[in-house]
Amino acid sequence: MLRPINHSLFSSPSFPRRRESTFRGRSWVLAFAGMTVFSVAFVSALAVAAPATPLPNAHAHNDYEHDRPLFDALDHGFCSVEADIHLVEGELLVAHDADKVEPGRTLQKLYLDPLRERARSNDGHIYPDGPRFILLIDFKTSGEKTYTALRPVLEQYKDILTRYTPKSTEEKAVTVIISGSRPIETLRAESVRYAAIDGRFPDIESEINTNLIPLISDSWWTRYKWNGRGEMPDNVRVDMVNDVKRAHEQGCIVRFWALPHNEELWQYLIDSGVDLINADDLPRLQKFLLRTNN
């Protein structure tokens, strides 16, 4: 039980008035100092907790290789992340190579569960009132078998996943797009699904259904053969602009992988309308995009 302070102790003959004044002065100083420390700590905590500015052009290449898969990307404002998966004994394990898979590092645990938790806490968004968020799933094992295992998993998260039919797209917090070993015809035949296909530039030579293929990706090096050093050659610039234009005319967004990591190239990509910029260095791309957007 807390007892009231006995103020008579401070006014007894054994405790002079001068010392009472000193004591009270020191008490106020200590109290003020304590309040100041608390205020600074509180403000600092708010600053740490503040969500990063969402960057719709930022794509975390091989996101799972960072110290905190998904969360490092979110802390830097990335709106697209890439997870390579292997079907191993019925589980969808996240890793680049088959010999690197580890039990427990499942697609659900590393990505789907935390994304659902975040969407629920942000009223149906990954960032508060933020733009779309893409989970690019790269199949490293058989497309048909891997999708057979993935389909029922996605059904469990349909409250947060974009829903597709052959004629419509109902966008939600997370848009799943399948790359790698892509079971294109299987997805095409489905009446309702919770994933789309990562297309290639040959796909846009004829009219395509963006409810099936909303994204066009390709290897930068294979397509343009430029290492990103010095001024971009005119023929590369023209080819890239035309490629992006044709994809946009079909209603698709564009991404390149295997591209040099330098800010000059990133600027060329932004200026040419490329929608997603691959990056392994999350802070560097974040800094570049924030500066560019301002």
- Decide which of 37 and 131 is more confident: 131
Of the candidates 145, 70, 146, which has an alpha carbon nearest to the alpha carbon of residue 112?
70
Residue 8 has pLDDT above 50, yes or no: no
Under a CB-based contact definition with an 8 Å cutoff, are residues 116 and 169 in contact?
no
Q: Per-residue pLDDT for 13 more than 90?
A: no
pLDDT at 50: 64
Instruction: Give the whole-angstrom CA distance, residue 105 versus residue 36.
Output: 43
The pairing of beta strand 196-199 with beta strand 174-180: parallel
The pLDDT of 69-96, averaged and rounded, is 97
23-37: average pLDDT: 46
CA–CA dist 204, 215 (Å, integer): 11
Distance (Å, whole) CA 96 – CA 264: 28
pLDDT at 15: 33
Predicted confidence band of residue 215 (pLDDT cuts 50, 70, 90): very high
Average pLDDT, the chain: 86
What's the pLDDT tens digit per position in 143-196?
999 999 999 999 999 999 999 999 999 999 999 999 999 999 999 999 999 999
Q: Which residues contact 85 (CB under 8 A, 6 or more apart)?
A: 92, 93, 94, 107, 137, 138, 139, 140, 141, 146, 150
Model's pTM, two decimal places? 0.83
The residue-averaged pLDDT of 219-247 equals 93
- Max avg pLDDT among 24-28, 61-65, 90-94: 90-94
Backbone angles phi, psi at 267, to 5 degrees: -65, -40
User: May I ask the CATH class of domain 55-293?
Assistant: alpha beta
115 close to 83: Cβ distance less than 8 angstroms: no
- pLDDT value of position 29: 42
For residue 55, give the nearest of 293, 256, 242 by alpha carbon. 293
Maximum CA pair distance of the chain?
100
In tens, the pLDDT along 237-285 reads 999 999 999 999 999 999 999 999 899 999 999 999 999 999 999 999 9
Higher per-residue confidence, 100 vs 50: 100
* pLDDT > 70 in the chain, percent: 83
CA atoms within 13 A on the CB side of 56: 11
Please report the pLDDT score of residue 294 as a whole number: 76
Report the run of H or E that residue 222 belongs to, with start and end. Answer: helix 220-224
Question: What is the per-residue pLDDT for 33?
Answer: 46
Higher pLDDT, 32 or 155: 155
For residue 115, what is the enclosing H or E element?
helix 113-121
Q: Is 120 strand, coil or helix?
A: helix
